[in-house]
Amino acid sequence: MGDLVSLPVIGRGGHAFDNTMLNLLLPMHVQLDQNGRIVHAGPTFAKLLAFEPVVVGEHLFDYIQFSYPKNIVTNKNLAAHFGMPLTAQIKTQSGFDLKAVAVAMPGNAGMLVNFVLGTSLKEAVSHWHLNSKDFSAADPTVEMLYIIEVQSVLLEASRSLNDRLNGQREEAEEKAYTDPLTGLSNRRALNRHIKRLHRRRVSVGFAVFLIDLDHFKLVNDTLGHAAGDQVLQKVAGILLNETRPTDIVARTGGDEFVLVLEKTKDISPLEAIAKRIIRKIEHPFLREGQNCYVGASIGIVRAHTKDNRSIDFHLQSADEALYDSKNNGRGTFRFVG
């Protein structure tokens, strides 16, 4: 292992200059006499024991426990491991590992044990409120802390950037599947919804409502497009109130709306929904002192995911039923399938 480097003899009667030198080079060291009592503690080691009374004259093992190698519980045990890497903890703060090495003092004057922070470096520095002055100028710990801090800043910046990008992507996706005027789903979202229905392991029945507003062109021509936009927004609210979160409400263009209602076995509930929608849409609303009147005609098709039909197929079928509704006086609904 080679000869030990000679150190100045330091004890209670040692020179202040010698302790100052060691404090500068090894700020986390502790000097023990032949009986294992502390005769001097470096400034940083003393800082680690900030919650303890003055330790000079006390036994090191009252404050420190060694976890590797095991069974180092006496001065003699420690002396048997001179020059070997050791792992220790402060008894009152055992959550942090300290690395250590012990060497003999010249002239049989005791021993010197030098400690350094272990793997939880960043946490230990924060816990004990350490700074660069608490380490030797040649100690790479300061540079490691700088690197850790830079990595932390970069990681936080990266997370922030990812959050912004994810937010922008989600916003773009939301816009891509949303009708800007009513906030309803658009035709693209409707196609996606039907495809997802077909991908389910358990097949399910559903109904497609194709709703076309009656007399909507008259509102635009007499009251203006702003009034027409208000009508479309009012209808959107009505349709949302008549559906469940598992259903989809879409505006597919102009004054045309589509509902896809899941788990529909019986016709009676569908008839009731259609009647309510027509009644609510026919109710006039006031626009700048004038009543706006529109109506709704509905074509309904009942379908099942096991048939694996596209939304275009269902809409074409619903359009035939809608055509029958228009030809039967409007303001009514018809089924197909």
* 200 and 319 housed in the same domain: yes
Q: Is the pLDDT of residue 151 over 70?
A: no
Do both 40 and 62 map to the same domain?
yes
Of 109, 137, 165, the domain-final residue: 137
Residue 44: name the closest of 124, 102, 109 by CA: 124
Q: What mean pLDDT, rounded, does the chain reach?
A: 85
Do 318 and 195 lie in a common domain?
yes
H/E segment holding residue 291 = strand 290-292
Model pLDDT, residue 207? 93
Q: Is 247 left (phi over 0), alpha (psi -120 to 50) or beta?
A: beta
The pTM (predicted TM-score) of the whole model is 0.53
Is pLDDT of 99 > 90? yes
Count structural domains, the chain.
3
In this structure, are 196 and 328 located in the same domain?
Answer: yes
Establish if 10 belongs to a structural domain: no
Indicate whether 111 belongs to any domain.
yes
Each residue's pLDDT tens digit, 251-280: 998 999 999 999 887 899 999 999 999 999
The verdict on residue 2 lying in a domain is: no
User: Domain range holding 268?
Assistant: 187-336
324 and 294, same domain (yes or no): yes
| CATH, residue 110 | 3.30.450.260
- Strand, helix or coil at 325? helix
Residue 96 has pLDDT above 50, yes or no: yes
| Cα–Cα distance for residue pair 8/15, rounded to 1 Å | 9
The domain that contains 227 carries what CATH number?
3.30.70.270
Q: Looking at the predicted structure, is the pLDDT value of residue 107 above 70?
A: yes
Is the confidence at residue 221, as pLDDT, over 70?
A: yes
How long a stretch of residues is the chain?
A: 337
Residues 313 and 193 in one domain: yes
**Residue labelled with tokens 């009708």:** 179
In a domain, 3, yes or no: no
CB 205 within 8 A of CB 263: yes
Whether residue 5 is predicted with pLDDT greater than 80 in this model: the reply is no
Pair 48, 103 in one domain: yes
The answer on 310 and 205 residing in a single domain is yes
Average pLDDT over residues 213-219: 91
CA distances from 307 to 204, 314, 335 (A): 10, 11, 18
Same domain, 208 and 313: yes
**Do 57 and 147 have their domain in common?**
no
Highest mean pLDDT among 46-55, 90-99, 165-174, 296-305: 296-305
Burial of 280 (0-12, 13-18, 19+ CB in 10 A): middle
- Verify that 331 and 193 share a domain, yes or no: yes
Name the pLDDT band for 301 (thresholds 50, 70, 90).
very high
- Position 210 in a domain: yes
User: What are the helix (H) ranges across the chain?
Assistant: 16-25, 43-48, 75-79, 121-128, 141-176, 187-199, 216-223, 225-241, 267-282, 311-327
In a domain, 6, yes or no: no
- Is 33 within a domain? yes
Q: Is residue 25 part of a domain?
A: yes
Regarding whether 200 and 321 lie in a shared domain, the answer is yes
